[in-house]
Amino acid sequence: MALLNLLLVVLALLFVAFLGYCLYIKRSHMKYDHIPGPPRDSFFLGHAETFLRITKKDGNVHDKFLEWAEIYGPVYRVNAAHIVFVCVYCPETTKDVLMSPKYLKDNFLHSRAFKLFGERFLGNGLVTAVDHNLWYKQRRIMDPAFSSLYLRGLMGTFNEQAEKLMNKLSEMADSKTTATMHSLINCVTLDVITKVAFGVDLNLLNNSSPFPKAIETCLKGMVFNFRDNFFQYNPVNWPFVNEVRKACRLLRTTGAQWINKRRLAMRNGEDPPKDILTQIIKCFDKENTTQEDEEIMLDNFVTFFIAGQETTANQLAFCIMELGRNPDVLEKVKAEVDEVVGMKQDLSYEDLGKLTYLTQVLKETLRMYATAPGTSREVLEDKVINGIKVPGGLTYIFSSYVASRMDKFFKDPLKFDPDRFHPDAPKPYYCYYPFSLGPRSCLGLNFAQMEAKVVMAKLLQRFDFDLVPGQTFDILNAGTLRPKSGVVCTVTHRKYKK
């Protein structure tokens, strides 16, 4: 009898809690439903079912955001249970929010990358730190490793690593083997970041390594973690969840080994290279480092390991894909490389500045394919956006992918047209931000674009490439955006006109 009573009390409490939660959801609907937005799939899940449906079919949710932007205008609402986000494609608000240090990255979305299924992943590293002071302390110390003086000194490494790719492609051209450009370039960008940032030569084009797969698994895990709160509790997903945890651990234990080796050298009085690893250590190394200090060093190791290569590799792969289907652009950019670089083996820093059309091609690639599609900020105060009152306390989502594909901002947006970025063309006004904007913008922008230009210039100088017919031009949302096909090409040595 007592047990029955207890059961009844528990059921009653659960019912009250459920009712309370329903009222809480209803309240958030009433507060924000004046903001336009697509109809919810259900009272409880809001639009989450739409996202689940798309991702289950391996689709690209960013296209759904684009479709909604075209229908509902420059500010619209998205619900997931009691949570409400607003997607904003109004240049003035984009400028106002992203350019100001007062709007912090939001806790909800960033907590999804802090840990993956219980295993610490990006933690409080530079990309995901939400607390302003914690972020600023790191950014201030990391900045010198990205100064233009320091970056000039990396030209040797960029040339050397890109040359390894050229040798590989040369072998493939000789043996008439098709080349999956995305995975080959991934090896180069990972080689570059490990060499430049951590002083380690992986030589991935000639050695096998668990790192590329581990990065891919972690990013995939991040997508599932974002998409579905309960993913890890479904036994069907346990093998994958374990794989993700193992991949996180591999990256972090590698980080611990490399960091400790460098610290030991520093403590033994050796003069350390002024690279990213040294700066990561300098941010937190002191007499008595706390456990959290140690963890943040590892967070940054993983952050640079991933942020420092994945997005650049994807940009390059998309670039090759677009050049493959735009022969006029290809001829024009080849002609520029021939004129600037000619038969020289290595590119100089000055050469990069002269490759203006290649710069336009790379910018246009990121317009169509923002490989890190967007960012978010918590906005506490009320705002009026496009005449609509948006109450404070909401997360604003900004997507360069969506804005850059809107006809309103870029005429004929699906046309690959590098002339949009001609030096004399009007600059896009807060509707193109593939590296984000303001204080939390990408630290590696110049690094990435220097590396991208060296790889592309060498490729265009040496090889003709054709896309193998029948492959898709679709986008895979794998945490970052990458070409689904992998960009499979036949590669031949260029024949020079006498």
- Which residues here bind ligand HEM, judged by CB under 6 A? 126-127, 139, 304, 307-308, 311-312, 315, 366, 371-372, 375, 434-436, 440, 442-444, 447-448
Q: Name the residue whose CB lies closest to ligand HEM.
A: 444
Residue 173 CA, chain-centre distance (Å), reads 31
Q: Are strands 463-467 and 383-385 parallel, antiparallel or unpaired?
A: unpaired
Token readout for 431 is 């509707």
Pick 173 or 202: Cβ nearer ligand HEM:
202
Give φ, ψ of 74 to 5 degrees.
-75, -5
Q: Which helix (H) or strand (E) holds 480?
A: strand 480-483
Torsion sign, CA atoms 150, 152, 153, 155: positive
Torsion sign, CA atoms 20, 21, 27, 30: negative
- Smallest distance, Å, CB 71 to ligand HEM? 25
Pick 312 or 326: Cβ nearer ligand HEM:
312
Pick 138 or 254: Cβ nearer ligand HEM:
138
- Smallest distance, Å, CB 397 to ligand HEM? 11
Pick 112 or 220: Cβ nearer ligand HEM:
112
Q: Are strands 480-483 and 394-399 parallel, antiparallel or unpaired?
A: unpaired
Pick 448 or 460: Cβ nearer ligand HEM:
448
Distance CA 301, CA 169 (A): 30
Pick 173 or 443: Cβ nearer ligand HEM:
443
Comparing C-alpha atoms, which of 294, 236, 298, 246 is closest to residue 116?
A: 246
Q: Which helix (H) or strand (E) holds 85?
A: strand 83-88
Per DSSP, what are the bridge partners of residue 87?
76, 397
- Smallest distance, Å, CB 98 to ligand HEM? 9
DSSP, collapsed to helix, strand or coil, labels residue 394 as: strand
Question: Residue by residue, what is the 3-state secondary structure of 109-125?
Answer: HHHHHHEECCEECCCCC
Q: Are strands 83-88 and 394-399 parallel, antiparallel or unpaired?
A: parallel
Pick 241 or 251: Cβ nearer ligand HEM:
251
- Smallest distance, Å, CB 444 to ligand HEM? 2
- Smallest distance, Å, CB 375 to ligand HEM? 3
Distance CA 160, CA 460 (A): 16
DSSP, collapsed to helix, strand or coil, labels residue 33 as: coil
- Smallest distance, Å, CB 210 to ligand HEM? 21
**C-alpha to C-alpha distances, 272 to 198, 249, 344, 411, nearest whole angstrom:** 11, 26, 33, 50
Distance CA 486, CA 8 (A): 58
Residue type, 203: N
Radius of gyration (C-alpha) of the chain in whole angstroms:
24
Per DSSP, what are the bridge partners of residue 394?
379
Query: Judging by beta carbons within 10 Å of its beta carbon (0-12, 13-18, 19+), is residue 95 exposed, middle or buried?
Result: middle
Residue with tokens 């918590």: 378
Pick 219 or 307: Cβ nearer ligand HEM:
307
- Smallest distance, Å, CB 452 to ligand HEM? 7
- Smallest distance, Å, CB 448 to ligand HEM? 4
Pick 306 or 347: Cβ nearer ligand HEM:
306
Q: Which helix (H) or strand (E) holds 379?
A: strand 374-379
319 is in an annotated binding site: no
- Smallest distance, Å, CB 17 to ligand HEM? 34
Pick 168 or 363: Cβ nearer ligand HEM:
363
- Smallest distance, Å, CB 492 to ligand HEM? 27
DSSP, collapsed to helix, strand or coil, labels residue 52 as: helix
Distance CA 452, CA 103 (A): 31
Q: Which residues are annotated as a binding site?
A: 442
Q: Which residues are annotated as a binding site for heme?
A: 442
